[in-house]
Amino acid sequence: MVHPSLKMQLIDQLKKAIQDSCQNLGFDIRLKDIQIDHPKDKTHGDYSANIALLLAKKEKQNPLSLAQTIKEELDKNISLSVSVSKTEATPPGFLNFHLSPTYLKEKSKELFDQKDFKSTFSSTLKGKKYLLEHTSPDPIKTIHIGHLRNNFLGMSFYHLLTLLGAKVTLDCINNDRGTHVSRAIWGYLAFAHQSREEGNPQYKEEVKSYSLSDQKVKSIASTADWKILLADWEQNPDQWFQPEDFGLSSDKFNNTFYSLGQRSNDLVPETKDQIEETLSSWEQEDKTLRKLWRQIINWSLDGYQKTYDRINSHFDHVWHESEHYKLGKEWVKKGLKKGIFKKLPDGAVLSDLKKYGLTDTILIKKDGSALYHTQDLELTHQKIKKFPSDLYVWDISNEQKLYLQQLFTMVEQLGIEKKENLMHLNYGFIALKGGAKMSSRYGGVVNADDLLDKVKIRAKKIMKSAQKIKALESEEEEISEKVALSAVKYSFLKYSRIKDFSFDIDESLSIQGNSGPYLQYTYARCNSILKEVKKVPDSISKDYDLNSEEESLLKTNLLFKEVLLESANRWEISTICTYLYNLAQTFAFFYQKHRVLDPENKKTQDARLFLTKITQNTLQTGLEIIGIPILEKM
């Protein structure tokens, strides 16, 4: 899904100049046929076009000769001379453009003031509205590292699109009903009574560590009666364990009993019937069961919120499945009347998607119960009704590709919304280096907070080994937390979103490598330099001749807007990460070769201070987009 309003003024100017020159030469060429790229070899200029190669095939001419002819015509373009100092034709038929140093210096003024810097982007997507759903974990489990990738992507695009002037609303779905929730309720009733600890002082530890033996699980599950237990809970709720009794966050506490409910379901067949009875009783709005249900759901939501606060995430609206799941059946009825869906002999309702190249899916089971697609039809309707938008985005993993293709097609079939306005922002699988389970059925999940804590501990060790650790001791906790967030967020975002990868803790914390802490360090270095002077010049003197490292740093900073637009057009945050790493490397090379503070050469110092300041600004904005905390010193 491309944003058609995203344009680069200079690239558009170059394209128009090429089109005019070609038409002056008698060649019929369209703007969309002209491709402008950056040459891999920097000696070949700042931009390159292969239009002569394309025309040569059509006109049956020598491409290099044709490029030279177009080049000569381009040299007559007065408006182009403001920004381009030299145009050249190079083998086998490229047109290369070298930007004018005067133009570069003038454009760089936009990068100096952080407020003005950001305002240069704000009109790009002005008037556009997006509804972006991200991070909707099952509300009786826990947030794992897969959810982190989901979250970091969603929040990064929120920051990026907002910076570009769009109105972005963030939503999520709380799937707070269904068999998975009933398993958690049943597991809590069966296993959380304090009497379970009698005769087994290790009971809480075994539950916490997911190590309760199959024999014990079978013994408890086979004698549990959820109705009797629920009545007992209603009379004596204080006799059931609470999250604080286990020393766990409330969402982790829920996950332990969900796991026990699932294990019981697998080990004791009769448990399945009880769990189904629990769900049926909930749907019949049993007051006592609903009270326990609300407590368990709130435990998860409270635990999730602490994680969201930690990673600086938020939502503008939360949908609750319990509030709309019944309404989805009305869309199925409408679909049957329109002939979009079909009823099977056993009473089940099936989609009709074969003409769209998709497999069909059951919407209503033969027993009359609704499936996820059914409720998502109503949820999508509610999204569109409450938040009219230009684009509706679902930030969900690759494995849900078919599900969403089916949903979007049925949404269009029913006349709810056109498919072209619905987008799946998909992403790949993630694991820890060396392999790690991602299923939370039996507690094998890699918990998000556990991962962040582990990285934070490693960051503290690295800090303690640093020479200036004494100056950092008072801030050790805050800095190590910010470094951990930086390490994890950047590592999760630097890969193409559709790519599977394994997270490496050591690599994520490398101060020398392609990592978040390396970017934080570069920002802190810029900050330490700028603190040495009272005032930083707001431009580079017109008569100052930039050396190659200074020019490279200036040009790299000026590419930032282009990178942001490319990232938004391709829906690829890794583009920004790659750019920021390249910027940090370019600054490091510049810093290694040249002194920034040089009072005896004021014009040189002023130019280098200016370059340091705009690099700091660019890094700050880039880090804010990908959600990495700024460190003033490191």
Give which of 423, 386, 398, 397 is closest to 408, Cα–Cα: 423
Convert the pLDDT of each residue in 298-320 to its tens digit. Answer: 999 999 999 999 999 999 999 99
Calculate mean pLDDT across residues 251-280. Answer: 95
Other C-beta atoms closer than 10 Å to the C-beta of 310 total 14
Instruction: Calculate Rg over the CA atoms of the chain.
Output: 30
Is CATH 3.40.50.300 the right assignment for the domain spanning 9-99?
A: no
Distance from C-alpha of 142 to C-alpha of 307, rounded to nearest angstrom: 10
Residue pair 518/490 in contact by the 8 Å Cβ criterion: no
Using H for helix, E for strand and C for coil, what is the string for 171-219? EEEECCCCHHHHHHHHHHHHHCEHHHHCCCCCHHHHHHCCCCCHHHHHH
Calculate mean pLDDT across residues 130-152. Answer: 93
Q: Look up residue 465 and give its DSSP letter.
A: T
* Res 190 pLDDT > 60: yes
Q: Give 240's pLDDT tier (boundaries 50, 70, 90).
A: very high
* Res 287 pLDDT > 90: yes
Q: What pLDDT is recorded for position 590?
A: 98
What average pLDDT does the chain have?
92
* Res 216 pLDDT > 90: yes
Inter-axis angle of helices 226-235 and 179-191, nearest 10: 70
- The arrangement of strands across the sheet holding 84-90 comes to 36-37, 47-49, 94-99, 84-90
Q: Where are the domains of the chain?
A: 9-99, 179-313, 321-425, 482-625
Calculate mean pLDDT across residues 90-96. Answer: 95
Distance from C-alpha of 27 to C-alpha of 66, rounded to nearest angstrom: 11
Give which of 300, 299, 188 is closest to 240, Cα–Cα: 188
Give the start-end residues of each E strand in 433-536: 501-503
* Res 283 pLDDT > 60: yes
Give which of 506, 529, 326, 330 is closest to 414, Cα–Cα: 330
Q: What pLDDT is recorded for position 9?
A: 79
Q: Which residues neighbour 420 within 8 Å (Cβ) at sequence distance 6 or greater?
A: none
Indicate the CATH number for domain 482-625: 1.10.730.10
Q: Which residues neighbour 122 within 8 Å (Cβ) at sequence distance 6 or greater?
A: 163, 164, 165
* Res 436 pLDDT > 50: no
Poorest-confidence range of 3-17, 34-48, 414-428, 523-537?
3-17
User: How many residues would you count in the chain?
Assistant: 634
Q: Give 4's pLDDT tier (boundaries 50, 70, 90).
A: very low
Q: What pLDDT is recorded for position 334?
A: 96
Distance from C-alpha of 560 to C-alpha of 447, rounded to nearest angstrom: 35
Q: What pLDDT is recorded for position 1?
A: 46
Calculate mean pLDDT across residues 351-370. Answer: 93
Q: What pLDDT is recorded for position 472?
A: 57
Whole-model pTM: value is: 0.93
Q: What pLDDT is recorded for position 435?
A: 55
Instruction: Enumerate the H helices of 542-573 as residue ranges.
Output: 548-558, 560-570
Calculate mean pLDDT across residues 353-369. Answer: 93
Q: Give 428's pLDDT tier (boundaries 50, 70, 90).
A: very high
Residue pair 515/483 in contact by the 8 Å Cβ criterion: no
Residue pair 175/138 in contact by the 8 Å Cβ criterion: yes
* Res 437 pLDDT > 60: no
Q: What pLDDT is recorded for position 469?
A: 46
Q: What pLDDT is recorded for position 439?
A: 44
Give which of 88, 108, 78, 116 is closest to 544, Cα–Cα: 108
Convert the pLDDT of each residue in 543-595 to its tens digit. Answer: 999 999 999 999 999 999 999 999 999 999 999 999 999 999 999 999 999 99
Convert the pLDDT of each residue in 99-116 to its tens digit. Answer: 999 999 998 988 887 677
Percentage with pLDDT > 70 across the chain? 95
Helix (H, G, I), strand (E, B) or coil at 132: strand
Q: Give 123's pLDDT tier (boundaries 50, 70, 90).
A: confident
Can the peptide bond before residue 269 be classed as cis, meaning omega within 30 degrees of 0?
Answer: no
* Res 434 pLDDT > 70: no
Give the start-end residues of each E strand in 260-361: 317-320, 342-343, 349-350
Distance from C-alpha of 179 to C-alpha of 238, rounded to nearest angstrom: 26
Distance from C-alpha of 124 to C-alpha of 388, rounded to nearest angstrom: 20
Percentage with pLDDT > 90 across the chain? 81
Between these two residues, 12 and 171, which has the higher pLDDT value?
A: 171
Other C-beta atoms closer than 10 Å to the C-beta of 80 total 20
Residue in the block written with tokens 């094998």: 444
Show the tokens assigned to 425: 């922002």
Q: What pLDDT is recorded for position 475?
A: 82
Distance from C-alpha of 488 to C-alpha of 454, rounded to nearest angstrom: 11
Convert the pLDDT of each residue in 18-75 to its tens digit. Answer: 999 999 999 988 888 899 999 988 889 999 999 999 999 888 899 999 999 999 999 9
Q: What pLDDT is recorded for position 368?
A: 84
What's the sign of the alpha-carbon dihedral 512, 518, 519, 520?
A: negative
Distance from C-alpha of 551 to C-alpha of 593, rounded to nearest angstrom: 13
